[in-house]
Structure formats: structure tokens, C-alpha cells
Amino acid sequence: MREQVSRRGFLGASAAGAAGLVILRDSRSATAAAANEKLNIAGIGVGGQGGGVLNAVAGGNNVVALCDVDAARGEGNFKKYTSAKQYKDFRKMLDEMHAQIDAVVVGTPDHTHAVAAIAAMKLGKHVFCEKPLTRTVYESHLMRVTAAKHKVATQMGNQGSASEGLRRAVELAWGGFCGDMTECHLWLANGDGPRERPKDTPPVPPTLDWDLWLGPAPVRPYHPCYVPGSWRTWRDFGSGGGGDMGCHSINMAVRALRLDLLWDPDPADKPEKPPIIRIEGQASEIHPETYPRNIKAVFDFPARGNRPALKVHWYNGGLKPPKEALRGYTMTQWGCLVGGPKAALLSTCPWNTNVFLLPQEQFKDYKGTEPRIPRSQGGHHAEWVRAIRGGEKAFSNFDIGAPTNEIVQLVHVATLAGKPIEYDPQACKIVNDPSLNPLLHREYRAGWTL
């Protein structure tokens, strides 16, 4: 597979079909819709990526409500779904139409993911939420807890989860192909860099409700450097380059190494004491407004059942692992590598849609084994719809999507802490210095709650 994959090319390939889901737990939704029943779906943030997701799940269903704070941004889907009621404020939409809504797609900027998705789940609505799942660690924790409490079908939008390549890598890892895996490197090409808040205050476009766009974030004047597409690098709104691609690129490692068991251990392997994750982060600079140019972080993950403790090395903004980690493979722009004494598995695509066995020379004639993980038809979005209708959990449901996102957000926490932190994933607390716990979340402005 090509190492450089366009977003459009990837989405087209994934929709064409090599999708599947792993059955890890008995997981049918207690509020599942009938198998052939049309769903009533609402969209929150229906331009751009959110609009694309809405269109992907709308086929054969009813789109009954659309919410976007920018009438111009949402115009395409407002015109497409003319029978859907239109809103600017999702709180009003849920208040007025909750009895008519089965499921909600959340495609807003990161800082409003949690407030929208949790409000919907508390009303028993199934939720598809774009990646990164949330902007803060605590928001992600609460997304997982709320989904479990209300027994709703969920899916995070890291679409590579539906690929054959990722599933094949996970099969090999789980089958002991590499031996005991104690090594992981993740490197992302994109970074950020210091930016000062603009001093000029141009007028707010007439189609945009700026106060609603800010949502729970602190008030600041409107500027086109934030909207529609540049909000991600600003700490108040996004998660930087690492947040943009981290939930995609670390996906294979989280699954292959079963890091999710630290959040929700198998009852047979549940440790007597809470597992503790140690994280140390270094940033090129710390700026109060924006994310660093590059970051290096090291996670020490404890054992998970019979799986040994391991280190995960994170690099972004152009930093790379030592070349010997690639076992003779040429260094790449993007990478996710998991390995043990026998072999390593490497993806060089940000969505983990491919996999190479390393050292390549050793495995050039390897034909593989029979698939062990079930595949399914339809792709990432279809999995969520099937789960709502009583099927198995979607592959990137919040049980695994939330831990994946917590790992990504903990990178930023570690760079701000100024010291190594020790994190209890089940309690969502920093245990070696409780004074750092405010870094896991932030205070919302009045009128916004989880």
C-alpha cells in the first residue's frame, strides 16, 4: 500500500468495504432499535467533517434535526435535508426534540465535543463523535462512563479502525507473532508552534453565532484565525497537531498492546491495586495560547494480565525514533511501530491502513495466517448504525475510543506538568502530585456543563 494516502482516497477506500469489528465483550445496546427500523438522526456541527459523517449514516434513515452555529457552514446540509428542523444551539434542539431523536452525530470543533455528546447520551441517544474524542482527559473519561451508564451505541471517528491493515496487524500481535511486545514508537509529522492572539477585532460574519461557537471556552473576540479551520492549534479550542492525528496513528498500538485493559480490565486479570501509568513529556516550548512545535513523551505502561510492562515513545512535529527501531526499514514521515524480540509491526500511514513485517528480508515470503478477527461490510460508519440496531459494539466505541484519546491528551498534560506524572486511568487522577489534577480538565464558563 502507498505510504502517502490522501484523505479523500482513504475515505473512499474505507467506505468500499474492507471493514470489520472485533468482538471483545458481549456488547449489545440495551436501547437498540429494531433491525429494520429507520433511525431518526440529528447532526450537531453539520458542515465540513461533521457533515460528511452525517451523510455517511443518513442512507435509509431519517435526518430529523440539524444544528450548526454557522448558517453558511451548514448551508449544504440545510438545503439537502429540507424536512429537518434547523437549530443553532444544540441544547435547545435536544430540549425540544429529544423524543424524536434516536441518534446524534457530533462534528463540532474539539472543545464542544463533550458538552454536546454527553448531553445527548444522558437522554439515551446513541452518539457518533469525531476524533479527537474530547479536548481534555476528564471529558474523555466522562464520555466513557456516561456511555456505559446509559447503554448507548457509540463510535469515535478514527476511520482507520475499519481497515484491513489495522485488523491484520492486531491479529498478528495478539497471535504472539512478535513475542512479548515491550516496545512501541509513534511519530507524527504534524506539529504547531507559538502564535500570539490577534489584536485586531474584525466584525463577526452575519451567519455565525460567535458566542455559541465559543461554547464552554473562555470569551475572546472573534477572529478569522480561529474559524472555520484554524482553531485546532489554539489551546482553548483544539488539541494541536497531536490531537489532530494522534487518535488515528496510535490506534494500532492501543489495540495490539491491549492498553485499553488498564481502563477496563478483564475480570480474570483485574489487579489488586489500580494500574498506574507514568508519563514524562518534553516540549520545544510552552506557550499559553498554542501548542508546541514538537513534543517528545515517554509512557511507562504497567503489565496488563499476562502482557508485560512496556514503554511507548511519542514524537510529533518532525521528531523521529532512533533508526535502529525500524530494523532496517527506511525512516518514514509517519509511523506506528510495535515490537518484541521476534519481530515488529510497522504502519507508515497515519490511519494505520497498512502494515509491514520487520525485518522485511526475514518476512519477504511470509504468506500470513487465516484471519482471526471478524470483518464486516460497510465500513466505520455502518458499524455504528448496526450497533444501534442491536448488533455488536462498533469497533471504536467509547470503551476503547476514550482511552485512546486520554493517552493523546495526556501527552499535553505531561508537557505542562514540568515533571513526570503518575496517572490512575480508572480514577482519572494524577496520584504523585494531586496539585496537577486541574490539568486534566478546565472550568467551563457559565451556562455550560457536562
pLDDT digits (tens, 9 = 90+) for 146-182: 999 999 999 999 999 999 999 999 999 998 989 999 9
At 367, is the pLDDT very low, low, confident or very high (cuts 50, 70, 90)? Answer: confident
At 371, is the pLDDT very low, low, confident or very high (cuts 50, 70, 90)? Answer: confident
Q: What is the mean pLDDT of the chain?
A: 91
Do 341 and 290 share a structural domain? yes
Do 172 and 124 share a structural domain? no
Q: What does the block give as the cell for 80?
A: 439537502
List the one residue out of 50, 53, 57 whose CA is nearest residue 67.
50
42, 67 Cβ separation under 8 angstroms: yes
153, 384 Cβ separation under 8 angstroms: yes
Do 410 and 368 share a structural domain? yes
261, 304 Cβ separation under 8 angstroms: yes
**Predicted local confidence at residue 17, as pLDDT:** 29
Do 183 and 104 share a structural domain? no
Peptide bond into 359 cis (omega under 30): yes
Do 186 and 115 share a structural domain? no
User: Looking up cell 498500538, which residue turns up?
Assistant: 253
pLDDT digits (tens, 9 = 90+) for 384-395: 999 999 999 999
At residue 214, does pLDDT exceed 60?
yes
At residue 264, does pLDDT exceed 90?
no
List the one residue out of 96, 33, 108, 107 whose CA is nearest residue 64.
96
Q: How many contiguous H segments (helices) and E segments (strands) does the chain have?
A: 12, 17
Q: What does the block give as the cell for 173?
A: 500481535
Q: Domain of 426?
A: 167-192+237-377+397-440
Of 12 and 102, more confident: 102
Q: What is the CATH number of the domain that holds 361?
A: 3.30.360.10
Separation of alpha carbons 174 and 413, rounded Å: 30
pLDDT digits (tens, 9 = 90+) for 67-106: 999 999 999 999 999 999 999 999 999 999 999 999 999 9
**Predicted local confidence at residue 35, as pLDDT:** 62
Do 407 and 359 share a structural domain? yes
Do 181 and 115 share a structural domain? no
**Predicted local confidence at residue 91, as pLDDT:** 98
Do 122 and 31 share a structural domain? yes
Half-sphere exposure of 232 (CA within 13 A, CB side): 15
Alpha helices for 250-344 (secondary structure H)? 251-256
Separation of alpha carbons 205 and 218, rounded Å: 20
In a domain, 148, yes or no: yes
At residue 27, does pLDDT exceed 90?
no
**Final residue belonging to a domain, choices 114, 146, 161:** 161
Least confident of 130-144, 236-250, 368-382: 368-382
**Final residue belonging to a domain, choices 161, 178, 203:** 161
Of 302 and 10, more confident: 302
CA dihedral 46, 50, 56, 59 (to 10 degrees): -30
14, 162 Cβ separation under 8 angstroms: yes
At residue 272, does pLDDT exceed 50?
yes
Do 173 and 78 share a structural domain? no
At residue 10, does pLDDT exceed 70?
no
Query: How many structural domains compose the chain?
Result: 2
